[in-house]
Amino acid sequence: MALVITEQCINCDMCLAECPNQAIFEGEKFYEIDSARCTECVGFYDRQTCVDVCPIECIVPDPQHQESKEQLLHKFHCLNLLSTTG
Ligand code: SF4
Ligand code: SF4
């Protein structure tokens, strides 16, 4: 499933550059994750890099966007295709 950033986020900016899918952006009050782009890092890494760098552990699984590993891999391939075809 995609991840979500909770309101505990302190806008430290650590996670932004770490996302290989450019799924993280600066929201109105705190940083947010575009669920359509978050693959839980599947396709790139074995671990979720945003979770690894967040100093306050406010990035959690999003129960609204439950996806299997196969679905996440499919999302990864679709995003990759989009970026290569422009
Ligand atoms: S889990 Fe990976 S793909 Fe999802 S927002 Fe975090 S860094 Fe980006
Ligand atoms: S690393 Fe954590 S606290 Fe920092 S901006 Fe990202 S979600 Fe917010």
Query: What beta strand segments (E) does 3-63 contain?
Result: 3-5, 24-26, 31-33, 59-61
Q: Which ligand is nearest to the CA of 62?
A: 1
Ligand 2 pocket: which residues have CB below 6 Å? 5, 9-15, 31, 53-54, 56, 58-59
Task: Write the pLDDT tens digit of every residue in 51-86.
Answer: 999 999 999 999 999 999 999 999 999 998 877 765
Q: Decide: 60 and 74 in contact? Cβ < 8 Å.
A: no
Task: Write the pLDDT tens digit of every residue in 12-51.
Answer: 999 999 999 999 999 999 999 999 999 999 999 999 999 9
pLDDT recorded at residue 85 = 66
The CATH number assigned to the domain holding 55 equals: 3.30.70.20
Which atom of ligand 2 is nearest to 59's Cα?
Answer: 7
pLDDT recorded at residue 83 = 75
> Residues with Cβ < 8 Å from 53, sequence gap 6 or more?
14, 15, 18
Q: What is the pTM of this model?
A: 0.94
Which atom of ligand 1 is nearest to 49's Cα?
Answer: 7
State the residue range of the domain holding 19.
3-85
DSSP 28: S
∠ Cα 41 69 43 (to 5°): 35
The number of folded domains in the chain is 1
